[in-house]
Amino acid sequence: MLLFFGYIIVTLSVFGGYVMIGGHLGTLYQPAEIVMIGGAGVGAFIASNSGKAIKATLYSFSKLKRTKKYNKAMYMELMALQYKLLSKARRNGMMAIERDIEDPDNSEVFADYPKIVSDPMIMAFLTDYLRLMVSGNMDPFEIDALMEHEIETFQQEGEVPANALQTVGDGLPAFGIVAAVMGVVHALGSADQGAEEMGMLIGNALIGTFLGILLAYGFVNPVATKIHHQVTEAVKMLHCIRVTLMASLNGYAPQLAVEFGRKALFTAERPTFSELEEHVRASRSTSEAS
């Protein structure tokens, strides 16, 4: 929603300002310039990316409507879930949570956290490494290294659409110059039609430079930046899980382990120590009551 709201502000500011100085919007409509700039941008995008990258970029557009999926409430749920799982494992042994992680949909522990269960990325990462902890055959340093590698891979894959769009956005001003040059060439070829006609053709040609810059910095690059921010939020979620599980593997109590996870969060979404303690206490009471 914020992306489209930003688009509206960009459009109204640029074209509204143009009208305020006495410009006519009809003059800016140059189909040939749009075809040259847009077509060159799409062609460059296809030429510089693989089929997987193109598919990933198109798929990423479906996620642009959400503004903040991983917010403070989501982090609180994640840490409360981890606290319950680690507490159960500490109290009854790691094998006690095997059934929970093998079948989360029918687990009483996971049932209290539907937002977490509905996120396949979080569930896959959390259950995979809890499963390794249950097996007990891996050194904590090996598990930590494996988590780091997986998070790094996830980040690299997630940023493919952002990098692809960023590259196209950076090239659009140059394509705008190309369109402008082509228009100037056409104008010079029509010099025999008089100064007035030639001036109009040169003015139309310069619209290509305007459109290239506007499309790049007003529309395409903001999408790339938004995708990058979404990937960063998801990566932070995985790091929160990683830090919490590693603290548990190193012998810290569940309540301290989730505190380690809290410290890994961005300050904007990080709950205070008191908020987390109160949330964990409520989670503990619910667990003991059941």
Alpha-carbon distance of 83 to 78, in angstroms, equals: 9
Indicate the pLDDT class of residue 188, thresholds 50, 70 and 90.
Answer: confident
Most confident of 179-183, 273-277, 281-285: 179-183
Is-contact 280 75, C-beta < 8 A? Answer: no
Q: Which are the contacts of 26, defined by CB distance < 8 A and separation ≥ 6?
A: none
Contact of 284 with 276, CB cutoff 8 Å: no
Packing angle, helices 273-289 and 72-92, rounded to 10:
50
Res 65 pLDDT > 90: no
Please check the confidence at residue 287 and state whether its pLDDT lies above 70: no
**Separation CA 79–CA 256 (nearest Å):** 11
Domain ranges of the chain: 33-290
The separation between CA 139 and the C-alpha centre of its own chain, rounded to angstroms, equals 32
Length of the chain: 290
* The pLDDT of residue 95 is above 80: yes
Average pLDDT over residues 49-59: 93
Distance CA 278, CA 66 (A): 29
**CB atoms inside a 10 Å sphere around CB 123:** 16
